[in-house]
Amino acid sequence: MITQVESPILEIHDLTVSYDQSPVLWNVDLSLPVGKLIGILGPNGAGKSTLIKAIMGLVPVTSGYVKIFDRELKEVRSRISYVPQRESVDWNFPASVLDVVMMGTYGKLGLFHRPGKKEKKIAMDCLKKVGMQSFVDRQISELSGGQQQRVFIARALAQEADLYLMDEPFAGVDMATETAIFQLLQEMTAAGKTVIVVHHDIHSAMNYFDWIIMLNLHLVASGPKADVVTEELLRKTYGGKLNLLTKVTDIIRQKDFNPLKN
Amino acid sequence: MSFDQNAFLIIFTASIISISCGLLGVFMMLRKMSMTGDAISHAVLPGIVIGFFVSGSQRGLEVIIGAGILGILATLIIDWLKNKAKVQLDASIGITFTLLFAIGIILINMLAYKVDLDQECVLYGEIAYLPIDLWITNSGFSMGPRITYLAVLNLVLVTAFIFLLYKELTLTSFDENFGLVIGLPAGAINLALMSMVSYTTVSSFEAVGAILVVALLVVPPATAFLWTKKLTSLIKLTCALGIFIAIAGYYMAYLVDSSIAGMMVAVGGLIFLGSALFKSIKPKLVFGTSSPNKPLEI
Amino acid sequence: MSDFVYFFTFQDSSIAYVVIGITLLGIGSAYVGTYSFLDKKALLGDAISHAVLPGICLGFMLAGEKNPIYIVTGAFLSGALATFLTSWLKSNTRLSDDAIIASILSIFFGFGVVLLTVIQKSGNPEMAGLNQFIFGNAIAILEEDLYIYGGLAMLIIITLSVFRKEFAMLVFNADFGKSIGYPMGAIRLIFNVLMILAVVIGIQAIGVVLMAALLIAPGASARFWTDKLSRLLLIAGAFSAVSGILGTYVSFVIPQMPTGPWVVVFLSTFAFASFLFAPKKGVLSRFIARRYYLKKTHQDHLLKAIYHGIEKGKSSFPIEEIYESFPYKKRKSKQTIDSLVKLDLLINNQGFIDFTPKGKSEAKRIVRLHRLWELYLNEYMNIAPDHVHDSAEKLEHILTPELEALLENRLNYPKLDPHQETIPRDNDEL
């Protein structure tokens, strides 16, 4: 069940990614609509994080390509925002909440230029949007998980982009924070932004997302949630007839080279 | 007590060197690259020797260029070993720096007829000779100790580097992926940092020795990190520690009649270990945070 | 040449001592270092090498001379303190591992330098030998030294060989070992002791700074040749011993050359040679495997292309048409056709290409696999028919006959693929 879209904001064509001679993503082919809240679901190791990283150009692609706003990544970087996984950073780093959020403005500032009043105002506004304005000078090592997550989102907001990619923003976060963040995301999509989120929980996904992508090494489904969340597709995503595929993956690993490389 | 000009010069120069190393060291520590810094300060040795050989003296620009090239080479080799040859990071660092250092020692021996580098001097320098080693211009005018000028120049360049690229360095040290995503040239910034470390190593090796440069790169920032969680405080405290170490190191070395550089490190080490011990007993004391703990606030 | 003979026939007993010494020492370090490497704590050895210096100096100062017992004990205590502090700092501060190791390394070395310069200035004539601890000089290993240091080296080698199981557990899965009742704390302690001992003996040959190479390089190199621990240790030991002997030989032939750096040069040669040329894991090997794979892929694609043409009714192919099927790859296609002709799969009749019987059945096999895969991917993986082609092209090259049979079974021996083309069987006629 893969629905394609006319004039998509994001288009992925035959994307294959491999880590260390093992394929992690196979032949992903999809297109995504503007202004929707899109969720990516799948079991552990399905390649969800890899998909986001591949779109952001953080991992090398074995074959296929990605087009954003119908252009290549490097032309439109300033219009895309990224929220990485919370554990990808050492939160012991000596920075304040404001410092981190201001980092979102550095892309537009350019090399050597110092952030000024304008950047500070943007950062403060973004902190307000995530409800963290009273934490401005707090050291990030003193924050709870939910607060850290909100800081990351505020940083992404400070990039002032049109497309937002978020990797597991709700992992290990309390209910209040989760609800608050989803509300924010829905406000953003109402304002015309597109938000793509890697998520881990099917049930909340049904409530929050407009469009759902189901991934398990390959693309199982991509489309409006009502069409996509069926029992059969869930089975194909989370369990099911993939033993042959796993066998092939094992062979590839054993033979120590990857036939899926160009 | 009359003003001892020699002592002042030595302490002043040692402080400058400590500050240069400390500033770079803060960022190396934050990037978890302290051991890479250690590797680079060993790896520059062949570059120094070749530069010395080419220019005929250790005063030349060639030495600095040689060191810079070798610092970059070392960084590239470590990267190649880790990413292309798929060797563990710690082994990549260990193999690279020992090989380059070994080549350096061999070159010193082979080129001894033209290169007057003493193995021991390379390792731990001798800053006590500083006041005698003067920069004499062509007209015969004595400008003061040569090493001091080199150290000041080094400090100016390091400070300029960090000032200009402050936000880039901070961002890539905190979250390199994010930096790549917003289009920062993270790889180039890293190489630039390594080059500055190489340059600082060679600029300082005559005074404190290549190996003790590592101590000045690593120990003051690590000590400061025990006391504060704010980056600006971290930098200031590192500099302050550097100056204190220079002063205390000089006088203690005088008392005990030992190497000044070695004593500086020993003093720094005592402060470091003392701080760690103190903090483990009394953890609540910190400088520079904004507000007291509010555990129930959401 | 006469030097070579003189050296290697051990006519001089002192040379024999040196060679035995360096071999034992090298193997001991290699063994300890290999475990350390597997534990991903390779640079801890570097830290310990620097950290033993103050202990050595103190030992010397207390004894008033280069007494091995005092020196080894001093070094040992110093190294032990450094190891202890490293773990303590890890548990009690927020500092990262690399900062802790780098700090301990340089602080202890700084203390060492202080003591060393104090000794130098005291004018004690015995101290000339102390420098040897920093820079190393294997050539100077004396007979009496050999008994102590050689003995210690043997101790290390024997302990690590006999208790391989326990140390392997320490390095690979300490928690598991603890849960099944092994005394992991004690094992860790013994390992640290062995490590410090290895360092103390090793730095006399190779010096403080370069000791890390003696610990890290053999294991890292051996890792590229085998996955089995026993073989790893053997290969590492061999690399180390050979490098040690060669380095010593160079120092013997060119007297002003210190031994340490040359040993490191040989160790590094083994290391880089392993990284580049080891079968399977080496850079070159991986490169060749990929090249082979790409070549085979192109061969298969070519055979398939010809087969498809024959299915549509052509009898033989002008070579130009084949070039056209693979745009921008003309030279590669030509090479491939030549290889296939050599393999007796194709015949080149003055610019017209045709199958040999062998070639025809091989092509049939490849086409069958390809179409089976397309069917599978379409049915079970929801990949649209026009995209199935690429994946199948890539996957078919690694299918074994067993998998092929499994696939046929799964799909229930189908006749047609997603493009509605026939799936050929062996006895089908074209």
What are the residue ranges of helices labelled H in C123-228? 131-135, 143-145, 151-162, 164-179, 184-206, 211-222
- Summarised one tens digit per residue, pLDDT across range B145-190 is 777 888 899 999 999 999 999 999 999 999 999 999 988 898 899 9
Sorted by sequence, the CB contacts under 8 Å of residue C11 that are 6+ apart come out as: none
Res. C78 pLDDT band, cuts 50 70 90: very high
Chains B and C form CB pairs within 8 A to the count of 200
Tokens 């910190």 locate to B286
Name the strands in the sheet holding A10-19, side by side, starting at the edge strand that comes first in the sequence: A63-68, A10-19, A22-32, A218-224, A211-216, A37-41, A194-198, A163-167, A80-83
Give the containing element (helix H, strand E) for C408: helix C401-410
Give the whole-angstrom CA distance, residue A256 versus residue A22: 9
Residue B289 has pLDDT above 50, yes or no: no
Tokens of C61: 């100062």
Select the residue from B36, B95, B282 to test the C interface by mutation, using most C Cβ atoms within 10 A. B95
Q: How many CB atoms lie within 10 A of CB A239?
A: 10
- Summarised one tens digit per residue, pLDDT across range C283-338 is 998 888 777 766 776 777 778 778 878 777 777 778 777 777 666 667 777 888 88
Residue C264 has pLDDT above 90, yes or no: yes
- Summarised one tens digit per residue, pLDDT across range B50-59 is 888 888 766 6
Give the containing element (helix H, strand E) for A67: strand A63-68
- Summarised one tens digit per residue, pLDDT across range B10-50 is 888 889 999 999 999 999 999 999 999 888 888 888 888 88
More confident residue, C200 or A39: A39
Select the residue from A12, A17, A27, A28 to test the C interface by mutation, using most C Cβ atoms within 10 A. A27
Q: Of B38, B101, B112, which has the smallest distance from its Cβ to C210's Cβ? A: B101
User: Residue B142 class from Cβ within 10 Å (0-12 exposed, 13-18 middle, 19+ buried)?
Assistant: exposed
Asked if C110's CB is within 8 angstroms of B106's CB, the reply is: no
| pLDDT at residue B132, rounded to an integer | 55
Give the containing element (helix H, strand E) for A27: strand A22-32
- Per the CB < 8 A criterion, the answer to whether C49 and C15 are in contact is no
| pLDDT at residue A185, rounded to an integer | 93
For Cα atoms A238, A239, A244, give the angle at the middle one, nearest 5 degrees.
125
Q: Does B222 touch chain A (CB under 8 A)?
A: no
Q: Kindly list the residues from chain A whose CB atom is less than 8 angstroms away from the CB atom of residue B178.
A: 82, 84, 103, 155
- Chain B: give the shortest CA distance to residue C257, in Å: 6
- Chain B: give the shortest CA distance to residue A236, in Å: 32
Tokens of A234: 């869930």
Q: Kindly list the residues from chain B whose CB atom is less than 8 angstroms away from the CB atom of residue C98.
A: 32-36
Tokens 């070798």 locate to B70
Sorted by sequence, the CB contacts under 8 Å of residue A138 that are 6+ apart come out as: A96, A97, B289, B290, B291
Q: Kindly list the residues from chain B whose CB atom is less than 8 angstroms away from the CB atom of residue C262.
A: 102, 106
Mean pLDDT estimate for chain C = 81
Residue B284: alpha-carbon gap to chain centroid: 31
| pLDDT at residue A60, rounded to an integer | 81
Residue C265 has pLDDT above 90, yes or no: yes
Res. A262 pLDDT band, cuts 50 70 90: very low
- Summarised one tens digit per residue, pLDDT across range B92-104 is 999 999 999 999 8
- Subunits next to B (3 or more Cβ pairs <8 Å) are A, C
Asked if A14's CB is within 8 angstroms of C376's CB, the reply is: no
- Summarised one tens digit per residue, pLDDT across range C143-170 is 667 787 888 889 999 998 888 888 888 8
Asked if C275's CB is within 8 angstroms of B276's CB, the reply is: no
Q: Kindly list the residues from chain C whose CB atom is less than 8 angstroms away from the CB atom of residue A239.
A: none
Residue B79 has pLDDT above 70, yes or no: yes
Which candidate, B222, B242, B253, places its Cα nearest to that of B125? Answer: B253
Mean pLDDT estimate for chain A = 84
Asked if B276's CB is within 8 angstroms of C115's CB, the reply is: no
Give the whole-angstrom CA distance, residue B110 versus residue B103: 10
Mean pLDDT estimate for chain B = 83
Give the whole-angstrom CA distance, residue A48 versus residue A171: 14
Select the residue from B34, B169, B174, B238 to test the A interface by mutation, using most A Cβ atoms within 10 A. B174
Strand partners of residue C354:
C347
Question: Which segment of A185-189, A253-257, C368-372 scores lowest on mean pLDDT?
Answer: A253-257
Asked if B290's CB is within 8 angstroms of A138's CB, the reply is: yes
Which candidate, C112, C81, A139, A94, places its Cα nearest to that of B221? Answer: A94
Which candidate, A131, A90, A93, A123, places its Cα nearest to that of A106? Answer: A123
- Per the CB < 8 A criterion, the answer to whether C247 and C239 are in contact is no
- Summarised one tens digit per residue, pLDDT across range B200-257 is 888 887 677 766 788 999 999 999 999 998 999 999 999 999 999 999 988 888 888 7
Closest Cα in chain B to C265: B99
Closest Cα in chain A to C396: A259
Tokens of A54: 């591949």
Give the whole-angstrom CA distance, residue C13 versus residue B288: 67
Asked if A103's CB is within 8 angstroms of B184's CB, the reply is: no
- Per the CB < 8 A criterion, the answer to whether B105 and B192 are in contact is no
A194-198/A163-167 β-pairing: parallel
A37-41/A194-198 β-pairing: parallel
Give the whole-angstrom CA distance, residue B225 versus residue C155: 42
Residue A15 has pLDDT above 70, yes or no: yes
Asked if C103's CB is within 8 angstroms of B272's CB, the reply is: yes
Give the whole-angstrom CA distance, residue A215 versus residue A229: 12
Q: Of C40, C94, C209, which has the smallest distance from its Cβ to B90's Cβ? A: C40
Give the containing element (helix H, strand E) for A10: strand A10-19
What are the residue ranges of helices labelled H in chain A? 48-55, 97-102, 106-109, 117-129, 145-158, 175-190, 202-208, 225-228, 231-238, 243-255
- Per the CB < 8 A criterion, the answer to whether C215 and C142 are in contact is no
| pLDDT at residue C254, rounded to an integer | 85
Give the whole-angstrom CA distance, residue C111 versus residue B259: 10
Asked if A144's CB is within 8 angstroms of B178's CB, the reply is: no
Q: Of A221, A241, A255, which has the smallest distance from its Cβ to C380's Cβ? A: A241
DSSP per-residue string spanning C301-339: HHHHHHHHHHHTT---EEHHHHHHHSTT-HHHHHHHHHH
- Subunits next to C (3 or more Cβ pairs <8 Å) are A, B
Q: Kindly list the residues from chain B whose CB atom is less than 8 angstroms away from the CB atom of residue C127.
A: none
This prediction's pTM: 0.81
| pLDDT at residue B294, rounded to an integer | 43
Res. A3 pLDDT band, cuts 50 70 90: confident
